[in-house]
Chains A and B, each alone.
Chain A
Amino acid sequence: MIAQLDHLIAVFVGAFLILALLVVQKRTTLTQAETTLSQVSRVQADAMVEVLAQDVENVLTPDLASGTGFPFEIRIDTASGQTSSLSLTTLVRTTVADSATGLAAFTPGRVRYDLTPSGRRIWTGLDSADVYRLDRSVDTGAGFDRSPLGEVVGFDVAALTPGGARRIGSLPAVPEQLALSLAVAADAPTTRGDGTRSARDRIVRAEASVRPANR
């Protein structure tokens, strides 16, 4: 009798532990997926803001940009509050760093960033958000060559005066400082079977504060 009871308890405990393990595994799998997505978003956002920061950092003054065209122009979409376009004349990196010298080549050119709605909305964890496509167009003398930089849920370029005020539109001179912000999000993963979505906020923001080197 004691032996049978012992077996019964063992089966019961074992079944409970296996069940617990399955729950933990399911949660872990979801967390892993979320973390991976977040990491991918982070890398994507950082890469985009780095490209943007370099263009802004190397923006050329009207004197230096003679022949290639100024202005420095920021347009805002009043409905969404997002920066809808940014145009500038800058030093465009044309090669990757040389392995021997560690140096890359740059050439003056016009760069334009355009934000266009993709028509999609994604669940970001706490809410849903419109997805935009951010394109970067470069003209180094042969006309604009447009290529997608990535998908974002937020894009903000703030040209700041020394007093901290924002300036938009076509600026007569290179701003003293710019605050750049990009928000990237991946759609929330669901667990197989029950379709559960995590409530974790999945928006990743990459920001940079840049003082143009040629201001």
Chain B
Amino acid sequence: MGRFLLLVLAGAVIGSYVLSGSVLDRASADAGVAANGQNRSLAREAAEAAQAVVVGDLVDPATGRFRGALTLPQAFQAGGGQATVEDYSLSADGREATVRVAARVGTAAHRFTSTYRLSPIDWLGPMVLETPYASANVEPGATIRSEPASGDRGIYVDVSRFDDYDLSSFLSEMEMAQDLRRAIPGEPVFLLRGPAMAAARDASRTPTAADIRAEAIRTFRAGEDTRIESDHVVSGTERYGSLGDFGSADPRIVIIKGDLRVPFGARLEGNGVLIVEGDLRIQGDMTWEGLVVVSAPEDRQHVEVDLGDAELRGSLLVDQEAPPPGGHTDLTVFRSLDGTWEHPAGDGRRSCDPATVTGAGCARNAPTPSAQSHHYEHTHRVDNRLGSRRFVFHATDNVQQQYTRFKETVADLLALPGNGNLEVVLEFANPDASGAADYALTIDGATETGVIASGFNVHSPGERYVTEPFKLRDFDELVVDVRSLRMLERLWNGKTSDSPSCDPTWSVGPFVAGCTINERVSALSHMRDRDGALTIRVARASDRAPLYEAALYWHTRQDQSAEEEAADQRWREDIRSGTADYGTELRAASGADIRLDLNQVQTALQRIGLGGVVVEHVQSQGESIRPENVRP
């Protein structure tokens, strides 16, 4: 009986074991099925992440074209899965890329097969004129047109300046439109202003001439590109880069800081961006592929664009300000050599004797805020005195030292104990009011050029308008060339300031409640943001404490308003009577062939880093696949 009992017990144990094992197996299999479903979702997400990584690698930024081969490794981690680029191929013309990428997560895999296309850019038309007034004389036979034509493309004239200068009292916008349409009968002419023009630009991704010029200066490559600092007359044949279609051209930047003339018998040809800062007169041969930008100096009242028999594949842009007379540039300098700035005015006037605090320039310590006039140096109508709006901040002797006091400041700073190796940064504050200024900065013999609105080419990480730190004693020169008085901050006496540092508590004396400022220079001394004026600042690198500030702004003084009003009236009368030529005069001979060519525009934009390339998703196809079907 005992044996029988043992047998029954053994049977019970074995039976239980087998049954529980079977249940565990079932449960395990059930969990496995559920996990597989989750893995499929994760694999899909991983494949999406891998697809995004691949898209970022499709275009070679140097050429703006799809790469011949991806730089990514064939297998990489993405979105928590193991991604594999299974295939990558280009269409015959190189404009479409198809990529197949798969990702594995556990027992699941997902694949995307996607096609992308380099989106052709759009553009307003063969000519874009930003000018207060334009007239045209185009001989029959000349070709000016968009290829391919579309209802939205044509000759665009931004007439915002026509409005800004109040020209309608003596010039007719309708006559301007009729004149242009009569001269260029084959192409629509659009006159747009303000938001409508901005919307048209946005829709066609057409930057302004100023933007193109700024980027051309920023991306200028010494030794490869060309910059001529004066008027230029082409002799013989001048060739810049090489002509060619999408991908085969060798685009260059050519900047002429004055008039450009191609006389009879001479030839100019090239590809890229040609910037002419004056009149353009083509009497000989010219073939240009890309962008031609005529960007006249602000005070040029009449700009001549004579295309002769030129051949242009791309687009012509003209930027002419030609504003009425009025106002001038003021330069106000502040400094605080120890960087404490107990008062926004800093150390006070240059002529103040800090030992006695009694000199004529010691108003910094005057009992009332209104009497505290305390800039370090101020120059009224500095551009009139200089004969230009080119400001030089120089570490050694320079005629402009008397205005900027820069050399003096550098010397004073370096003379302070422990400042021999002082590291500083240079900053552009309020760059929105830059006056469309260019700059050239030389430190330790190395020069970089650019446009203030775009910031420094070599800048502190994440701060476009701040240089990298450098030793003050290595500073050589900063030249700021203001191209547009009207694009400086306009600060005139009597203006109500919207600056957050315009504080009514100091609104006494020359100031009135609400911060209407009647004494501009004194007001700037109170305002840490210099009332929005473009400010060139030297700051200590270690703590960014400003040491020197020079504010540049468009100023009008009340006692000069009558004089300026008379000048404005003379200006209007001269234009009305025809005594003075005004605006942009466009001419083309019968052999001229000006055609919008999107490929050439795109090549030129790519050269100056304005993109022009958009990767457009054509189609994708996703599928859940077996992991063993992932093909390396």
Contacts and interface: CB of A to CB of B under 8 A. Distances in A.
Interface in B1-18: 1-2, 4-5, 8-9, 11-12, 15-16
A87 interface: no
Given A36-B26, A39-B29, A104-B623, A14 B41 contact: no
Residue from B4, B619, B628 whose CB has the most chain A CB atoms within 10 Å: B619
Q: B-side binding surface: helix, strand, loop or mixed?
A: helix
Interface string A118-158: 00000000000000000000000000000000000000000
Contacts of A82: none
Q: A-side binding surface: helix, strand, loop or mixed?
A: helix
Given A25-B15, A32-B22, A39-B29, A213 B41 contact: no
Interface stretch (B32-40, B203-211, B395-403): B32-40
Interface in A1-40: 6-7, 10-11, 13-14, 17-18, 20-21, 24-25, 28, 31-32, 35-36, 38-39
Interface of A: 6-7, 10-11, 13-14, 17-18, 20-21, 24-25, 28, 31-32, 35-36, 38-39, 42-43, 46, 49-50, 53-54, 57-58, 60, 64, 91, 93, 97, 101-102, 104, 106, 206, 208-211, 213-214
B622 A213 contact: yes
Contacts of A38: 30
B19 A24 contact: yes
B44 interface: yes
Contact of A46 (B15, B19, B37, B631): B37
A57 B44 CA distance: 10
B16 A106 contact: no
B629 interface: yes
Interface string B600-632: 000000000000000001011111111011110
Contacts of A6: 1-2
Nearest to B7: A14
29 contacts: A7-B1, A10-B1, A11-B1, A14-B4, A14-B8, A17-B12, A21-B11, A21-B15, A21-B16, A25-B19, A31-B26, A35-B26, A38-B30, A39-B33, A42-B33, A42-B37, A43-B33, A46-B37, A49-B37, A50-B624, A57-B44, A57-B622, A60-B619, A106-B623, A211-B48, A213-B112, A213-B622, A214-B619, A214-B620
Contacts of A50: 40, 624
Contacts of A206: 37
B89 interface: no
Given A21-B16, A102-B625, A210 B44 contact: yes
How extensive is the interface on chain B, given as a class? 35 or more
A52 to B, nearest CB: 11
B360 interface: no
Given A13-B5, A97-B629, 20 more contacts: A6-B1, A7-B1, A10-B2, A24-B19, A35-B30, A39-B30, A39-B33, A42-B30, A43-B33, A46-B37, A57-B622, A97-B625, A97-B626, A104-B623, A106-B621, A106-B623, A209-B41, A213-B112, A213-B114, A213-B620
